[in-house]
Structures are given as C-alpha cells and as structure tokens.
Amino acid sequence: MILTVTLNTALDITYRVRSLRPHTSHRVTEVTERPGGKGLNVARVLAALGHEVTVTGFAGGVTGRALRDQLADTPGVVDALIPVAGSTRRTIAVVDTTTGDSTQLNEPGPEITPAEWAAFQEAYEVLLRSASAVALCGSLPPGVPVGAYAGLIKAARSAGVPVLLDTSGEPLRRGVAARPDLVKPNAYELAELTGSHDPSRATQDARRRGARAIVASLGPQGLLALTPEGRWHATPPAREHGNPTGAGDSAVAGLLSGLVEQLPWPDRLTRAVALSAATVQAPAAGEFDRAAYEKLLARVSVTAA
C-alpha cells in the first residue's frame, strides 16, 4: 500500500470560461468538482496506475463531507482522513479555454487543534506499518507546527518506509534537513530553498542539505533529477496547453510508483513527465488523459545532465 498525506485537503472546483477578463462578468461553460489537495491528486493517479493507495490528512465541515463522499466513489483509494471541527478549504481554478491559461484561488484551510494534530500523528504511525512508500504533500493548515513534515519524515525513516516530500517554504527547508528519500520542488520552490536560480547548482545545494534525491520540476522544460545513481534531464516533446493544475502531483505519482516498482531512474522520469503532460490535457486536477499518456511515454526525452 502507498500512503499519501494531505494535511490541507481541499475541494477542487474548476470553472471554464471562453475568455477570462478582469472587472467583468463571465458565463461558465463547464464546472467540475473533485476531492483535492496535492496528496489526493497523487492518490487518484496512483490508483489509475493500478496501485493500492490510502489517503490521510484532515477533513471537516460541509466541504469536508462533500470531499469524503466523492472520495468514496474513487476506485482503489482508501479514505483514512482524520475528522476535524473546522471546515475543509476550497480551491478555485478558472480556465480560459481560448488561451489555456489558468487562474488559481486557494483558501487557507481549517485551524487544526493540538488534539487533532496528536490524533493524526497516532493514526499516521499505525498506517506506516503497512505502507510501501509515503508521500508528504502540500501546504500546512493553520495550527500545524511548521516542522510537521520533518517529524513525519523521521517517523517514516524509523519505520523503514521510503518518503517523498513535496511542499514549499519553511516546511520544505525543515523537511529536507530530516533526510527524505526524495524531494520534488518546482523551480521557484528550489530557488527559495537554496537562494540559487541555476537549477543545476540549486539541486546540488538541496541534496547537500539532506535529501537523498532531488527531482526539480522546470515547467515546460520537464524534470531535472539529481540522485545517488546520476543526474538526468527529462523533457516532454512539446509544450502542452490546458489546465496545469495537478500536473506536478501527477509527476509525484509517476516518481512514487516508479520507486515502489524499483524502476531505473530514467524510466521513473519518463513516466513522471508523461503523466504530467497528460494531466494538462485532462479536464480536472488529479486526472490524466490515458491516450495522451500512452503516446507521450514513447516521446519523452531523458538525457544525462
């Protein structure tokens, strides 16, 4: 079983409009609603790839109930979310169908009490006993300690479970120091962590800070990986137009599934880039265009860097 942790779950709502313009009214041509937050997006993609997945984190209020009701209809995903008194956040993506550009609005999330955080930690340690790998994903809701991911990484390492970290800011800085097996920042997060805007130099610096492997997302330029086995640059065949929400989460699913399946690094990166590009073509986060994914697998370029 693969475990994904989403401390700040969300109900993802995607609106599609023909042309997004400020200070005007818009007629929505299509709306979709999905359980979201980075780890839940990762879990749906992993399940679609045939892996058994359990999701944990927090859910509460009317939005949390809607999220869990929809999650129950997701094949292959087991719900182990911890109930809280506060209300789960919503994230709104407005997609301009003319340009393919997306505008994102993210609510902060519920205030987590010390008792709720303690309940999560206890449940997490139990879930680790049957996990083959764990992904720690996304932002921290209010009330959760800034060093939360560092503690969760140490618990996973003590249990002998490989751990992937995908977050930003101070939680990323502290988490890297706890020595996760893999960190997946985007270019901005990597620069914020290291102070360097040169991805090659920044990945070296990030690895020296404690991560066993770094895979940096460079947007349309693909993924740059620095691992104990070598350095690679994986690129898609062309820039994809559509909704980029969840593309990074699909890359995480590709990397994590490749880790569990013990694939060589170039194959993991190929899968991650193909899934990411296929997600841009899908209508909602946490989904990918299966036909596009199959075609892209043969067209992703992976070179030694």
d(CA 207, CA 214): 6
Q: Which of 12, 166, 181, 249 is catalytic?
A: 249
Beta-bridge partner residues of 30: 16
Query: Which is it for strands 163-166 and 182-183: parallel, antiparallel or unpaired?
Result: parallel
How many CB atoms within 10 Å of residue 294?
A: 11
Helix locations, the chain, DSSP H: 38-48, 61-71, 114-128, 148-158, 169-177, 187-194, 199-208, 247-260, 265-280, 290-297
Known catalytic residue at 69: no
Beta-bridge partner residues of 106: 91
d(CA 221, CA 102): 19
d(CA 219, CA 283): 19
Q: Is residue 69 helix, strand or coil?
A: helix
**DSSP calls for 108-166:** --PPPPHHHHHHHHHHHHHHHTT-SEEEEESPPPTTS-TTHHHHHHHHHHHTT--EEEE
Could you tell me if 110 and 141 are in contact, meaning their C-beta atoms sit under 8 angstroms apart? Answer: yes
Reported residue count of the chain is 305
d(CA 6, CA 42): 10
**Residues classed as catalytic:** 249
